[in-house]
């Protein structure tokens, strides 16, 4: 199960994200999304859990949880093609 984790503290890296979700089960991978120019965290990431039951427990117990002064947004990640397309204005 692929899990979206938003509103992360900007100081979080991959190891901290993985550790946070290991209490619910085996974490296959954890990655914090970084800005491609600055290398700094963008405040969200993805966790892959091999067991769907563990993933559902992680979502139920982590969504809305206060961590580092921020309320986490945790839900099942949607595939890229399912996300609404963002309209962008003209480029100058």
| pTM, full prediction | 0.84
Domain extents for the chain?
Answer: 2-78
Q: Going by CATH, does the domain composed of 2-78 fall within 3.30.70.330?
A: yes
- Which tens digit of pLDDT belongs to each residue from 61-92? 999 999 888 999 999 998 876 556 566 555 55
d(CA 66, CA 19): 16
* pLDDT, tens digit (0-9, with 9 covering 90-100), for 24-63: 999 999 999 999 999 999 999 999 999 999 999 999 999 9
């Amino acid at each position: 199960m692929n899990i979206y984790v938003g509103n992360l503290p900007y100081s979080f890296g991959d190891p901290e994200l993985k550790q946070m979700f290991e209490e619910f089960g085996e974490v296959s991978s954890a990655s914090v999304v970084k800005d491609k120019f600055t290398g700094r965290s963008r405040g969200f990431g993805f966790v892959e859990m091999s067991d769907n039951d563990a993933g559902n427990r992680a979502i139920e117990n982590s969504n809305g949880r206060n961590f580092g002064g921020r309320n986490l947004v945790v839900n099942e990640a949607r595939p890229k093609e399912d996300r609404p397309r963002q309209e962008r204005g003209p480029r100058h």
